[in-house]
């Protein structure tokens, strides 16, 4: 009877050990792939990321938004002229210079609206240049390698009792699900940022048309700040990845494989959280509301 019980226990142990090894094999492959791709994705301009979407957004901006921006520009500058005249003691203190100033502002506003796309892309080109330089300075290996702590793992697991193995199997299962969820989170942050850039740039002519207005100018200024925030968010993301790379450099020196893996999960969760925060941090830096 004892022999039968020992064989049954051994069989259950082998089944759990196979399950644990299967769960841990390639556990961080998807996360490594996503994190390694971050610097490539955020370092691209809107045109370089997807030329098809870029051309579509450019066409919409030039053919749909610029005519609307022209109407808004005419309204804003007309309102500006009326305000200038009314402010001059109800037209009793009018000089010719104010009309020259209004003409200059109107010409400048028209120039801004007609060159909106070049201005917007210039902001992202500048941000991309900064990101490329930063990536070259702080680039580091972000791949999590558990294989060094998994040496002779099967023999070490066989020494554990049945209850510990069952708990370990459940932990490895939970960790696997967690890592897939984190992979999705990283994907959402990186690709969501690029989609946000395309959406923001598609309506660029409208806020840019208000730049020269005294009362409406805040809209255009806030829009410019939001562009800088979106562009330099990539720089903050690169810094987050660099910090993450430093944190995991010595992660595989632990003798406790589960502790090492949970530390990896913890650092990856921290990375995802900070990636989600980079957008609001960039906006607070540029005071974009």
* Sign of torsion over alpha carbons 210, 216, 282, 278: negative
Predicted local distance difference test score (pLDDT) of residue 249: 66
Predicted local distance difference test score (pLDDT) of residue 246: 74
Q: Which two tokens stand for residue 221?
A: 């200024």
Q: Read off the pLDDT of residues 11-44 as tens digits, 9 standing for 90 and up.
A: 777 777 777 777 666 666 667 777 777 777 787 8
Q: Say if residues 175 and 23 touch (Cβ distance below 8 Å).
A: yes
Using CA atoms, how far residue 27 sits from 14, 143, 197, in Å, is 20, 12, 32
Q: What is the pTM of this model?
A: 0.76
* Sign of torsion over alpha carbons 212, 217, 222, 225: positive
Print burial letters for 153-186: b (CB count within 10 Å at least 16), e (below 16).
beeebeeeeeeebbebbeebeebbebbeebbebb
Q: Say if residues 177 and 32 touch (Cβ distance below 8 Å).
A: no
Tens-level pLDDT at each residue, the chain (289 residues): 566 666 667 777 777 777 777 766 666 666 777 777 777 778 788 888 888 888 999 898 888 888 888 888 888 888 887 777 776 655 556 666 777 777 888 888 888 888 888 888 888 888 888 887 776 666 555 556 555 555 566 666 677 777 777 777 787 777 777 777 878 888 888 888 889 889 998 888 888 888 877 777 778 888 888 888 888 888 888 888 877 777 776 655 555 666 777 777 777 788 888 888 888 888 787 775 4
Polymer length of the chain: 289
Predicted local distance difference test score (pLDDT) of residue 125: 86
């Amino acid at each position: 009877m004892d022999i039968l019980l020992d064989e049954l226990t051994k069989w259950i142990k082998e089944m759990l050990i196979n399950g644990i090894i299967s769960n841990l094999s390639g556990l961080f492959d998807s996360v490594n792939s996503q994190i390694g791709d971050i610097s490539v994705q955020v370092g691209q301009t809107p045109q370089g990321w997807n030329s098809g979407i870029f051309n579509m957004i450019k066409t919409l901006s030039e053919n749909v938004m610029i005519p609307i921006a022209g109407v808004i520009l005419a309204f804003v500058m007309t309102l500006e002229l009326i305000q200038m005249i009314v402010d001059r003691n109800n037209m009793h203190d009018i000089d010719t210079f104010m009309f020259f100033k209004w003409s200059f502002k109107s010409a400048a506003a028209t120039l801004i609206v007609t060159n909106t796309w070049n201005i917007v892309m210039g902001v992202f080109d500048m941000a991309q240049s900064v990101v490329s330089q930063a990536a070259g300075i702080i680039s580091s290996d972000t791949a999590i390698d558990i294989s060094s702590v998994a040496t002779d793992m099967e023999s070490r697991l066989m020494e554990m009792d049945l209850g510990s193995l069952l708990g370990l199997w459940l932990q490895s299962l939970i960790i696997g699900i967690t890592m897939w969820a984190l992979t999705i989170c990283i994907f959402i942050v990186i690709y969501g940022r690029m989609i946000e850039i395309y959406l923001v740039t598609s309506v660029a002519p409208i806020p840019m048309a208000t730049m020269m207005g005294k009362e409406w100018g805040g809209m255009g200024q806030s829009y410019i700040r939001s562009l800088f925030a979106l562009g330099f968010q990539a720089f903050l993301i690169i810094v987050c990845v660099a910090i993450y790379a430093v944190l995991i450099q010595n992660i595989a020196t632990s003798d406790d494989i589960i502790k090492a893996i949970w530390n990896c999960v913890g650092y990856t969760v921290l990375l995802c959280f900070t990636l989600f925060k980079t957008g609001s941090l960039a906006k607070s830096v540029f005071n974009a509301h």
